[in-house]
Structure 1
């Protein structure tokens, strides 16, 4: 544990799973930790972990060095910010509540209207990793406000990724990374069920799943290059060949009665590409659907 000599105070607003993890990590690193939650929490258990629960919302932020908001959504965080704004006395608020890029921008604008120093954040790891070397948090805000993040960075551990002044960026990266994560987890569970239906135990299948994830990781740079260059002539994976694979995945899933929805989405995208591009085109061309939509949105 890193001992903090002058014991700066961190206030955590919201004691859900992530808020409690943040408060616990800060206490473990030697910070004085105050916490407030909308509904009552067990004081004894939290106090034993170095977290002091304060019943009054405004008292919880009075004289604190840094405020961390971690509540259910940005609507809730904006209500909280209105209630504590007058008591902050120039203290920086870090909002790590999950939301869309538009909601994150709206919350930052709302904070500016209230005269609150404000940083947008996104915690990119599960709660057990908070406070460890594996922690990863993304922050955006003004240079002056980001300069006050020392206590937060020390408490969270791991990597603090500063992405500039655009408050929408942490939310964009958060949701984009989760997009990959949840699709991957769902695909693994689907594949595990497909294998199990044919007598392959989940534990036996696991190394194969891990192997294909490594293959996917090695493929990402090429996919990114294709998206940037919008050229699809590398010859690595033909769209007609991949469409055939996907047809087999859908058929095999239906044969054993498991939902092929994710594979059907990818198959449909591949089939659309086949109507506009030669079959020998790289499968990466399916990304044109997204790129065209992105271009249309910017126009």
Structure 2
């Protein structure tokens, strides 16, 4: 198992804003970094900091036991890796190119067929957060790769291992991005609503953040209900929530604030009520969101 302080040789393929941030964080932690990018000029700043430029993907992969591709999408990824397949034998690949769970699983089979071990990753931060130990990097696939190269991966952020299914990191990534967008849009809607009466975002936001702490408690309470498929409405039922959201719709209408978000939420609650979940807790809404017949 790798020590977290052990310096290792690592290759980064793809030097967009995220790939460059990955390489920079690795250099900052003293790792020996080889870089390759289709446009060589993008490597110049990293080379000035001590990175070694590779002329081809084959050379880049051959330079290190570990390669981290961070490319635009899977089409670009395969376009880079396919010609370099012969260099993959005995190497480890930690892929952080964004894509679907299905693509990650297909890539895993392809890499293994060429003698490489594979860990798939999801980066849960923007480039400025790379290197912050509080930022999550999700991984799934080979536990041996995680153990062997933990020192490299900890240089990027907090490595959170999800299991041996290589598709899980991409699946969690998509699900968590949905949570982020929903949360930020809800905050922005609330900020617009309060702002219509002269409340600054800077004044509204600390109260919103404190409220989100309570919301995380609801999530913890509801998770076992979701897994069990039983939603005791002993806190606040969906019927009560439907009545309550009317106040939000009215407040938005009265201030000329867009009502499409609360209208969508109300419609979803009403679908749950129509399906027989009006007396359930809010967790019962999942029954109109999940695949029919599915349980957690």
TM-score (norm 2): 0.89
Q: Is the 8 A contact 1:69 1:93 kept in 2?
A: yes
Following TM superposition, by how much is the alpha carbon of 1:279 offset from its aligned partner in structure 2, in angstroms? Answer: 4.1
Tell me the distance in 2 between the aligned counterparts of 1:233 and 1:15.
Answer: 51
1:256-295 aligned within 5 A: 256-277=255-276, 279-293=278-292, 295=294
The alignment status of 1:170 with 2:176, answered yes or no, reads no
Aligned length: 294
Tell me the distance in 2 between the aligned counterparts of 1:4 and 1:243.
Answer: 54
1:9 maps to 9
RMSD between aligned residues: 2.5
1:239 maps to 238
Paired residue secondary structure (1:41): helix
Following TM superposition, by how much is the alpha carbon of 1:223 offset from its aligned partner in structure 2, in angstroms? Answer: 1.6
Sort the Cα spacing of 1:278 and 1:13 in 2 relative to 1 into closer, same or farther, 3 A: closer
Tell me the distance in 2 between the aligned counterparts of 1:217 and 1:3.
Answer: 31
Following TM superposition, by how much is the alpha carbon of 1:14 offset from its aligned partner in structure 2, in angstroms? Answer: 0.8
Q: Please, which runs of 5 or more residues in structure 2 have no aligned partner?
A: none
1:155 maps to 155
Tell me the distance in 2 between the aligned counterparts of 1:130 and 1:74.
Answer: 22
Tell me the distance in 2 between the aligned counterparts of 1:63 and 1:47.
Answer: 15
The alignment status of 1:48 with 2:58, answered yes or no, reads no
Which shifted more, 36-45 or 90-99?
36-45
Following TM superposition, by how much is the alpha carbon of 1:185 offset from its aligned partner in structure 2, in angstroms? Answer: 0.9
Tell me the distance in 1 between the aligned counterparts of 2:73 and 2:4.
Answer: 33
Q: Is the 8 A contact 1:4 1:30 kept in 2?
A: no
1:84-99 aligned within 5 A: 84-99=84-99
Which shifted more, 49-58 or 264-273?
49-58
Tell me the distance in 2 between the aligned counterparts of 1:207 and 1:54.
Answer: 48
1:1-299 aligned within 5 A: 7-157=7-157, 159-277=158-276, 279-293=278-292, 295=294
Paired residue secondary structure (2:120): strand
The superposition leaves residues 165-184 of structure 1 with CA deviations (integer Å, 9 ceiling, x where unpaired) of 21111111111111111111
Sort the Cα spacing of 1:143 and 1:205 in 2 relative to 1 into closer, same or farther, 3 A: closer
Q: Which runs of 4+ in 1 moved over 6 A?
A: 2-5
Tell me the distance in 2 between the aligned counterparts of 1:236 and 1:4.
Answer: 48
Sort the Cα spacing of 1:3 and 1:282 in 2 relative to 1 into closer, same or farther, 3 A: closer
TM-score (norm 1): 0.88
The superposition leaves residues 240-289 of structure 1 with CA deviations (integer Å, 9 ceiling, x where unpaired) of 22112222323332333333332222111111122233644322211111
The superposition leaves residues 2-60 of structure 1 with CA deviations (integer Å, 9 ceiling, x where unpaired) of 9977x532110111222111101110111111111123434442223333333322222
Q: Is the 8 A contact 1:28 1:50 kept in 2?
A: no
